[in-house]
Structure 1
Amino acid sequence: MRGKLGLVIGLGVGYVLGTRAGRERYEQIKDKAEEVWELPVVQKQVAKAKDLAKSSALAVPRAAWNGAIKVVKAATTPGTPGQRLDAALDETGDAAGDVKKAADEQKKAAR
């Protein structure tokens, strides 16, 4: 999807910048591009992209932060040093899994 969109945008930009038809043709192309941009279907996709960016942009850092908090809490729980270490290691594994899951979801959503 992103590749096709990039190709279309690249072709459009290349044509606009490379055209020798003059200012009048440039204005026609620009007006048509603005009309397309303002179409409800296009704006709907723009809104979806913005929502995706807002929701998933912080998913990985948030998962990493929450995991770090869990590890610290586990390391400071009552018990022997060995028990605290085991608890912290368990939480580290869980936190790594959460970060990987968030990264995979973000990667999947970006496609």
Structure 2
Amino acid sequence: MVTDSDGYVQIIEYLTEHLSLFENCEGANINSPSVMEVIEQELSEQIILVCSQNEKLSFNQRNTIIREVDAIVYDLEEILSGVVNNPVTSEQESFLKEFSLLIKNMFDTEIHSGVFS
């Protein structure tokens, strides 16, 4: 599973190395979506893409992926607990998009290596 992999640990370390992006919220528009809303939106888009690109995934495999994403969102919520409800800045949003792509790449790798077979 993705959340049990060394790659996931490295991705979480990558996030923690960039926590300073989330400490300074200057420049955030009060009408911007929250950090959590962006996390949920970006991860949802990437996981929909994973599933649509891998049509042979069974219902159970797709459910496993969704459970993994739920665990990832929970981890992100814990790590970013102090800022998840803050309006997102453009720099934070860019980082979260990149981070979501890294998560997608992990799922792609796991699927193509046969873990979800």
Q: What TM-score, normalized by structure 1, do the two folds share?
A: 0.36
Q: Which has the higher contact order (CA 8 A, sep 6+)?
A: 2
**Where is the helix percentage greater, Structure 1 or Structure 2?**
1
TM-score (norm 2): 0.34
